[in-house]
């Protein structure tokens, strides 16, 4: 037998012998035809081990509850682009939050772990004036094709995005450098981000408490050559009214009718693309009614929209000045202190009252034969006296406006006859239980003359807390 094996492999090369003795063909065939559970290999345990530094569920819950105790708020300013992101007041930092957490729960987690938890909860500390363009950031990380003939949809979309941004920015800069007729007002419009009152420096009770949400809509002139026209700021708080589309439309009209613009016949407003704030049919209905109000109304109102992610304006610069003024004051006890901060750098403040807010509604017609644009594609819209049509441009460089009838027939007829479509709000909005919490816990830390504002706030338990809702 041994002689037969030696004869069989006498003329076999070493490579062939290696292949013969190392083949697993027999084993695989036998395993397929026979169920041998005793020799089943151990399952792969890679990435199955629990890390030694993994936080327990209780530790994660402690961190989440502590972060939520600061009451992060939805920001109307960025709600369209970041609907699931919440914001904390700019006087806070993650470092301050962690110091408080470490005092209450020592040895639970380190600073970097706490910071990662804040980030995972979509809570932001973006500073005023800073902005990041999502489209441009994705393009930088995008893998571009090597071939010049290769077409890339992502690259084409980014080129269109940048082109629109450059066009809108060029018009903005040209208007900032040009001397215009005194009857023309060219301004940027924007709402300051999260503002909660009161602010008491070093008082932890204030930071953890649900506070009053205040609003600041800024109308700022463009460029240094137009500084003879002041910044106009409309301010109010949630006990007076909210921040819905009809509220913002009422603010636009109140500012247009103010004495600061009594000699102005043509308004040009640069705004961002926020649909809840500047780009909606409710605002368009209100502005159509305003230009046709009576002989004292403006001749034209034009809205120009900067490209998403590239919307830094003069209004943002003034918001940074307001935030700086609030930091210098340190303690912003009541709404009057907030107004003083807004006025500190020269703005003319309009305190919105209940009667200034009108219950505007969208009167857009849903008829199929109506010609109206897709608002997402529009870069400029205009409203003209004597007409209820909407005039728009898809590109600011276009020489002529497109136009179409967008209103329902009955509201359009009333507007042309100068009839007021909707009544003003009769009662203030009011706030719920947090009024008593502020009075009970924070008013004792204020001077007596500052407590009157909080005691006189209208109470309404049915009003939603605007910290939690858009």
Contact 454, 334 (CB under 8 A): yes
Nearest to 333 by CA among 215, 240, 211, 194: 211
Query: What is the 8-class DSSP label of residue 386?
Result: T
pLDDT for residue 209 is more than 70: yes
Half-sphere exposure for 64 (CA within 13 Å, toward CB): 10
Looking at per-residue pLDDT, the higher value among 147 and 364 belongs to 364
Question: Who has greater pLDDT, 457 or 154?
Answer: 457
pLDDT(283) > 80: yes
pTM over 0.85: no
Quote the pLDDT of residue 215.
93
Q: 212 has which bridge partners? A: 197
**Burial of 4 from C-beta contacts in 10 A (0-12 / 13-18 / 19+):** exposed
Mean pLDDT of the chain: 81
Mean per-residue pLDDT for 68-77? Answer: 70
Listed by start position, the domains of the chain span: 57-124, 171-455
Instruction: Note the residue count of the chain.
Output: 470
CA separation for the pair 459, 432 (Å, rounded): 6
Other Cβ atoms within 10 Å of 410 Cβ, number: 10
Max CA separation in the chain (angstroms): 121
pLDDT beyond 50 at 63: yes
Q: Hey, which of 219-233, 274-288, 456-470 has the most confident mean pLDDT?
A: 274-288
Reading the block at residue 447, the tokens are: 């001077």
Beta strands 212-221 and 195-197 are antiparallel
Contacts of 121 (CB under 8 A, 6+ apart): 64, 67, 72, 86
- Strongest mean pLDDT among 44-48, 51-55, 65-69: 65-69
> Who contacts 160 (Cβ-Cβ below 8 Å, separation ≥6)?
none
Q: How far apart (Å, rounded) are the C-alpha atoms in residues 230 and 227? A: 6
Band (pLDDT 50/70/90 cuts) for residue 300 is: very high
Task: Check residue 7 and give its pLDDT.
Answer: 44
CA gap 79, 470 in Å, rounded:
8
Q: How confident is the model over 408-424, as a mean pLDDT?
A: 90
Residue 460 scores a pLDDT above 50:
yes
pLDDT in tens, 331-384: 999 999 999 999 998 899 999 999 999 999 999 888 877 788 888 888 999 999
Task: Quote the pLDDT of residue 139.
Answer: 61
The burial class, CB within 10 Å (0-12 / 13-18 / 19+), for 289 is buried
Cβ distance 381 to 288 under 8 Å?
no
Q: Is residue 427 over pLDDT 70?
A: yes
Distance separating alpha carbons of residues 215 and 383, to the nearest angstrom: 26
Would you state the pLDDT for residue 375? 84
Determine which helix (DSSP H) or strand (DSSP E) holds 232, and give its type and residue range: strand 232-237
pLDDT recorded at residue 9:
47
User: What pLDDT shows up at residue 413?
Assistant: 92
């Amino acid at each position: 037998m041994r002689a037969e094996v030696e004869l069989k492999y006498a003329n076999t090369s070493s490579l062939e012998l290696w292949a013969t003795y190392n083949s697993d063909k027999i084993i695989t065939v036998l395993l397929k035809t026979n169920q041998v559970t005793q020799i089943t290999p151990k399952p792969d345990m890679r990435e199955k081990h629990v890390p030694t530094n993994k936080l327990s569920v209780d530790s994660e819950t402690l961190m989440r509850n502590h972060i939520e105790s600061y009451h992060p708020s939805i920001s109307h300013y960025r709600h369209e682009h970041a609907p699931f992101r919440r914001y904390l007041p700019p006087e806070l930092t993650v470092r301050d939050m962690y110091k408080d957490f470490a005092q209450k729960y020592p040895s639970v987690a380190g600073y970097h772990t706490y910071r990662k938890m804040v980030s995972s909860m979509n809570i932001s500390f973006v500073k005023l004036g800073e902005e990041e363009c999502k489209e441009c950031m994705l393009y930088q990380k995008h893998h571009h094709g090597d071939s010049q003939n290769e077409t890339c949809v992502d690259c084409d979309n980014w080129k269109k995005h940048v082109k629109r941004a450059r066009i809108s920015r060029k018009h903005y800069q040209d208007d900032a450098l040009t001397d215009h007729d005194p009857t023309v007002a060219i301004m940027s419009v924007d709402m300051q981000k999260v503002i909660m009152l009161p602010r008491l420096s070093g008082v932890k009770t204030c930071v953890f408490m649900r506070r009053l949400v205040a609003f600041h809509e800024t109308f700022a002139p463009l460029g240094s050559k137009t500084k003879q026209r002041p910044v106009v700021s409309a301010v109010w708080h949630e006990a007076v009214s909210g921040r819905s589309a009809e509220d913002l439309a009422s603010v636009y009209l109140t500012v247009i009718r103010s004495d600061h613009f009594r000699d102005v016949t043509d308004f040009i407003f640069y705004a961002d693309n926020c649909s809840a704030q500047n780009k909606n049919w409710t605002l368009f209905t209100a502005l159509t009614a305003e230009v046709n109000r009576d002989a004292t109304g403006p001749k034209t109102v034009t809205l120009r929209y900067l490209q998403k992610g590239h919307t830094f304006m003069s209004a943002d610069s003034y918001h940074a000045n307001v935030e700086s003024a609030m930091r210098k004051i340190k303690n912003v006890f009541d709404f009057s202190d907030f107004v003083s901060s807004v006025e500190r750098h020269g703005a003319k403040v309009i305190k919105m009252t209940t009667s200034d807010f009108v219950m505007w509604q969208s009167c857009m017609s849903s008829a199929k034969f109506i010609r109206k644009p897709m608002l997402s594609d529009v870069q400029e819209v205009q409203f003209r006296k004597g007409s209820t049509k909407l005039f728009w441009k898809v590109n600011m460089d276009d020489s002529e406006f497109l136009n179409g009838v967008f209103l329902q027939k009955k509201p359009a007829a009333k507007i042309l006859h100068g009839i007021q479509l909707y009544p003003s709000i009769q009662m203030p909005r009011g706030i719920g239980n947090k009024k008593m919490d502020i009075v009970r816990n924070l008013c004792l830390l204020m001077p007596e003359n500052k407590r009157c504002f909080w005691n006189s706030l209208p109470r309404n338990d049915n009003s939603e807390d605007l910290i939690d809702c858009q």
